[in-house]
Chain A
Amino acid sequence: MKRREVIRLVLRDQEPRVLTALVTELQLLVAAPPEADDPLENWAMEATAAPVDHDDPVITRLFPPAYSEPDLDAEYRRLTETGLRRAKDADARVVAGDIAAMGMAPFVAIPLDHVAPWLRTLNALRLALAMRLEVATADDAEALEKVGPDDPRADTVQVYHWLGYLLEMLLSAAEV
Chain B
Amino acid sequence: MTQTPVLPAGGVALDDAPRETPTAQRPWVCLVWDDPVNTMTYVTYVFASYFGYPKAKAERLMLRVHTTGKAAVAAGSREEMETHVTAMHGYGLWSTMEPGE
Contact = CB atoms under 8 A, between A and B. Distances in A.
Interface of A: 61-68, 76, 80, 83-84, 87-88, 116, 119-120, 123-124, 126-127, 130, 135-138, 140-141, 164, 167-168, 171-172, 176
Given A66-B95, A135-B36, A87 B42 contact: no
Contacts of A88: 90
A120 B82 CA distance: 19
Contact of B90 (A67, A120, A127): A120
Assign chain B's interface to a size class: 20 to 34
Given A64-B94, A64-B95, A88-B90, A171 B36 contact: no
* Contact residues of A: prevailing secondary structure: helix
A8 to B, nearest CB: 19
B42 A123 contact: yes
A76 B42 contact: no
B82 to A, nearest CB: 7
B86 A130 contact: no
Given A80-B82, A176-B45, A123 B95 contact: no
A91 to B, nearest CB: 8
B37 A135 contact: yes
B61 interface: no
A141 B96 contact: no
Contacts of B89: 62-64, 66, 80, 84
Given A127-B38, A135-B36, 9 more contacts: A84-B89, A84-B90, A119-B42, A119-B91, A130-B37, A164-B39, A171-B41, A176-B45, A176-B49
Contacts of A123: 38, 42, 91-92
B5 to A, nearest CB: 38
B90 A87 contact: yes
Contacts of B97: 66-67
Interface in B1-42: 36-39, 41-42
A116 B41 contact: no
Nearest to A125: B92
B82 A124 contact: no
A4 to B, nearest CB: 18
